[in-house]
């Protein structure tokens, strides 16, 4: 049974990636890596952050990798600003630009469209939704522990 579930999840994941690729092909916007999109989302959620605060949000990625991604978002894509903190000149503060906000809105819109397509396809009942949410919460709790994330998963 576990192999069947694994295979089904793999197939579902593949089809969701196909939907994403189709959306990206149809969109005129720049394609962002998952980590770049995560950085933009983090800035939207928390506001201005230092590079080290951004890096702390993903304990499995080095500070230098995050710094490189932030620099690419700033220099190449103009989706964030970088300023030196007046309080500590060794600290770089990162903030979303309007272009970054628009890119994030598009990403979120596309994700919502993909999930709407998925939910329409699986057509779950209310009882199935409750079971699904219980299983998802368990998975999120386990993944948070595995990834070393310290925040709770329930909202």
Share of the chain above pLDDT 90, in %: 55
Strands 92-96 vs 49-50: parallel, antiparallel or unpaired = antiparallel
Q: Same domain, yes or no, for 84 and 50?
A: yes
Number of domains composing the chain: 2
Question: Quick one: pLDDT at residue 153?
Answer: 40
Instruction: Please report where in the chains the tokens 């950085």 appear, as a residue.
Output: 39
Q: With 70 as the cut, is the pLDDT of residue 155 above it?
A: no
Average pLDDT, the chain: 89
Q: pTM for this structure?
A: 0.73
The answer on 128 and 118 residing in a single domain is no
CATH code: domain of residue 82: 1.10.10.10
* H/E stretch holding 113: helix 98-122
Residue 107: partners with Cβ closer than 8 Å, 6 or more residues away: 32, 37, 40, 41
Residue 36 and residue 100 in contact, taking contact as beta carbons nearer than 8 Å:
no
What is the average per-residue pLDDT within 10-29?
84
105 and 66 inside one domain: yes
- Rounded mean pLDDT of 116-127? 89
Q: What is the pLDDT of residues 44-85, one digit of tens each?
A: 999 999 999 999 988 888 999 999 999 999 999 999 999 999
**Residue range(s) defining the domain that contains residue 153:** 124-155
Are 138 and 103 in a shared domain? no
Q: What mean pLDDT comes out for the span 113-126?
A: 89
> Which three-class secondary structure state does DSSP give residue 50?
strand
Residue 20's pLDDT is what? 85
Verify that 117 and 144 share a domain, yes or no.
no
Q: Based on the domain organization, do 132 and 84 belong to the same domain?
A: no
Same-domain pairing of 103 and 152: no
State the DSSP code for 51.
H
154 versus 104: which is more confidently predicted? 104
What DSSP string runs through 47-90? -SEEHHHHHHT-TTS-HHHHHHHHHIIIIIT--EEEEE-SS-TT
User: Does the CA dihedral 57-61-63-65 come out positive or negative?
Assistant: negative
What pLDDT does residue 141 have?
Answer: 93
């Amino acid at each position: 049974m576990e192999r069947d579930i694994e295979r089904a999840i793999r197939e579902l994941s593949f089809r969701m990636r196909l939907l994403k690729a189709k959306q990206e092909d149809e969109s005129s916007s720049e394609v962002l890596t998952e980590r770049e999109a995560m950085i933009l989302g983090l800035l939207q959620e928390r506001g201005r952050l230092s590079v080290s605060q951004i890096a702390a949000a993903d304990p499995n990625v080095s500070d230098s990798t995050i710094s490189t991604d932030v620099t690419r978002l700033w220099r190449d894509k103009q989706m964030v600003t970088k300023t030196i903190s007046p309080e500590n000149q060794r600290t770089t503060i990162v903030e979303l630009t309007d272009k970054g906000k628009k890119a994030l809105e598009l990403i979120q819109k596309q994700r919502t469209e993909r999930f709407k397509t998925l939910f329409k396809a699986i057509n779950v009942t209310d009882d199935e939704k409750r079971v699904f949410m219980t299983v998802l919460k368990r998975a999120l709790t386990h993944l948070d522990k595995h990834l070393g994330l310290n925040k709770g998963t329930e909202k």
